[in-house]
Structure 1
């Protein structure tokens, strides 16, 4: 969406109720009338910042430029000259102001001290010097902090304060990329900075951060061209780390967001620190996947294959798999020591849906890289299993194993859980997905009933535990094969999820790695898009025998053992054979 026309607002609590002293012409220029003064025109043309962000007024660059024209500046200088408040020649002075002192002159005019513009020019205080800094009561330029500006000597304290306030209002923060390179920039904003937010709505308040929806004035950001594939209408998501958040936490998330780039990964637009808080700006999504499933409700009994929907689903799955692979294998950052990443918190709430100009159904994007980590080849798995908050429903078994580490394999399990729910929704509608969620609820070692995808069972002899994929999950997966709209594509996808993604790790079995997963899904998608192939066009439901459990011996870690002892959950009993678990060393060295 391109820049909009300037917004003109009159604030009765900020200024008096007099009628505007200007004409707004069809070309959006502003014309002073008769005896108008520049101060009056400025005070009638401004944007109001949202109350939650400070309730300040500000002048975006185009609006200020429309006001501070050569003619208007000349008229103001002529008025100052006629009042004997100006020593120099207005004709010569106007050219200097237009060349580089428009914001400075506007600030002085608002402070009622326009006559001092000559002294500011003598001191070299150009528009590029704003905002000026204050140290120990002395005002100086940022590029010459030890040189006190003489132009302020004749100003009273109140006038200085007015100038320091207005300098931010004529110079609001402009949000955008770093130069022409389209790289994310970070700013350390000073006290008094004006963020150009005209609307603010709360979105999410978590333990570590707060996310709000902000509307940025269209003339105060430069993201329109970059955001063309998606539609945001000047609305963005602002994530602010809590007051307890540390610079280390902020830099960790910032590094992950900058390092990983992919169309289906959330795009960090800009970051800044302000009032000792850390901020990250993202394009605003229309919904997360959980909300999208609910709002885009498919009928509970689907009897006809929607080819467009299946193709869209396949495209988004490939996109998300590609994004995950970009995190796991960030090859664009070639280094002597290879670096690997992981997401650590894949779930429907962290998959965002954006309205898109390129796809009528939108685009799914992986978000919230706050838990992601970058590790070298030697240390990539050296993340304790109790060091990361687990997503209750998608939590993989190794979170509770002795020696278990949070590795890239962790993401494969959680991605598999997400894909299985997506297939439930695609084949049976939202009701089917919600029934699946309810069906897999059972007590866990925490004592609470959860919809986790695996069970911890007690061995029949009471000596130890086993881990297995829940019977409800295996049964539901089997039933999906027999739904009337199940095609060969969904049969293959379900088999991939069940046999290579949602599996308990053992000495003989590992989960598929992201490059192989992406390659498999891309091959499947090519067939989906082939108009001559019945792969996704011809329904072929079939009775599918529920997969037998493949329990793996589990040596629980200290925390899990403690929960079992203290909370005494009603765990089921396992009878029969089990697979050997990976050794502690194998778990620690997992990819």
Structure 2
């Protein structure tokens, strides 16, 4: 809470008192006591109109009321400049700044700026001003709309704790940060109403703007109010600090693999499967948006959304895996929900060019890599279908068998037997690396004949909690997603439609949704043989 300073409360010698008050309100930036900033709002509570007049009277200004009004001018204020001058004991120079049209919105000033050449300041005064001004220029993040800041390396960020860089990814690393609440702006909320505890800041480690620009371009496709999707990560703000590049996101509770480990599966509870199928549906819906399936037709687009002739609005994520799927808690329902993140490898293309990416240009995660990366020549959107199918299979494995069956080396079955986990079996039975004179050496886990079903899927279908809904989900994965030939895979739109059908049937048929039917796989196996 800001308590305005009353001029009558000030002791003799106003300037030292005001400078002391300003310094007392400074906060360490990123936990560094050597680099401090003054939160927005504090300055206005210290330098009130009466206090400014008292300062001006002390420095023998002839018309203090008039100059005070100019310092607090709404269009071109110089309050930050005046505070900086007070800190360096040059308050009497405020009139020169105003006379030369220099205002707060022009900060930070550089030593070579022409305004300093117009009056007799020495190098010491200029350097003192240029150093001290950064205490008053910490950026304010308006989260109601995206903004990119280009800041020189001297800027103080309004972060309240030391940044510890962890969770290193393909091109960057993540730190958990708390932003001073006075440096956040949210639609429909005052400063005191809306205080999100933490944010994630991603720092690009390559030092190359190219990867930053690529990811930013991809993220901005889904980061405004017209295009955002609950199951796609939203870019809140970005900034360049010196020669380093950063992005700000909401802070997640963890990734999907961590979710499996922290939250034991309970297939015996009915609500668990209903929630899970909705998460899988939501992710496919978000990726349908990435793939360009659910964009509005040209004739239905608002005139303000005119698209350039060569617009790139058909995308491919390129690296779907549990580590790139985050989980958050819904503030209204308190339910967890999954969000697809890390768009580093995402690429967008214009219509007709989405299938022109050569396989040799693709970065990938081996365990989720489809065969066309090795066989070539080109990679299409169906790349995402395969990788999503692998993740879906892991999700069902976690739901029916628990975390150990997904990520540990072995797990214990209900009968007490030790079995290899999904990961162990996948690594044991795949055929990678596939550098064998251009011939595919064979992924034994998935790449099977039409009349065969992966052994792991048969194992899941025989689980006591495997309902008809789960059988149908497994059929979608095996028959239409993790299919060796890309052209035989469903589009993301068709994956979404099938999951919508399963979810809708679950809502109307509790037996279909929840009742275990471990023999149901026999009917599907016979169907596969016949058809």
TM-score by length of 1: 0.74
Match of 1:555 in 2: none
* 1:546 to 1:194, Cα distance in 2 relative to 1, 3 A: farther
Aligned residues: 477
CA shift in 2, pair 1:97/1:473, >3 Å = farther
> 3-state DSSP class of the match of 1:544?
helix
Q: 2:211 aligns with which of 249, 257, 270?
A: 249
Question: Whole-Å Cα distance in 2 between the matches of residues 203 and 223 of structure 1?
Answer: 28
With the length of structure 2 as denominator, give the TM-score of the two structures.
0.82
Q: Which residue does 2:338 correspond to in 1?
A: 364
Match of 2:425 among 411, 419, 439: 439
| Preserved CA contact (<8 Å) 2:375 2:440 | no
Deviations 1:90-143 (A, max 9, x none): 233222222222111111111111111122221122222222234xxx224xxx
Structure 2 equivalent of residue 189 of structure 1: 151
Residue 125 of structure 2: aligned partner:
159
1:236 matches 2:199: yes
Q: Note the C-alpha offset of 1:207.
A: 5.4
Higher helix content, 1 or 2 = 2
Separation in 2, partners of 1:40, 1:464: 73
The counterpart of 1:126, out of the listed 84, 100, 103, is 103
- Which of 50, 72, 79 does residue 71 from structure 1 map onto? 50
SS at match of 1:386: helix
Distance 2:292 2:259 in 1: 29
Change (3 A) 1:457 1:402: closer
Structure 2 unmatched runs, 5+: 223-227, 297-304, 408-420, 526-531
Shift of 1:351: 0.2
C-alpha distance 55-539 of structure 1, shift in aligned 2 (>3 A): farther
Shift of 1:379: 2.1
Q: In structure 2, what is the equivalent of residue 285 of structure 1?
A: 252
Instruction: Compute the displacement of 1:156 (Å).
Output: 2.2
Q: How does 1:19-418 map to 2 (within 5 A)?
A: 28-29=3-4, 33-35=10-12, 37-51=17-31, 55-78=34-57, 80=58, 85-99=59-73, 100-134=77-111, 138-140=112-114, 148-149=115-116, 153-177=119-143, 182-199=144-161, 200-206=163-169, 208-223=171-186, 233-245=196-208, 247-260=209-222, 261-298=228-265, 302=267, 304=268, 306-329=269-292, 331-332=295-296, 334=307, 336=309, 339-403=313-377, 405-418=378-391
Instruction: Provide the C-alpha distance between the structure 2 equivalents of 1:210 and 1:222, rounded to a whole number of angstroms.
Output: 25
- Corresponding residue for residue 566 of structure 1: none
Please list every run of 5 or more consecutive structure 1 residues that lacks an aligned counterpart in the other structure: 6-26, 141-147, 448-455, 549-591
Give the whole-Å Cα distance in 1 for the aligned partners of 2:518 and 2:432: 39
Checking the alignment, whether the CA contact within 8 Å between 1:440 and 1:473 is kept in structure 2 is no
Cα contact 2:327–2:336 (8 A) shared by 1: yes
Q: Whole-Å Cα distance in 2 between the matches of residues 497 and 130 of structure 1?
A: 57
Q: Of the candidates 486, 507, 528, which is equivalent to residue 529 of structure 1?
A: 507
| Partner Cα separation in structure 2 for residue 207 and residue 346 of structure 1 | 13
Contact 1:289 1:353 in 2 (8 A): yes
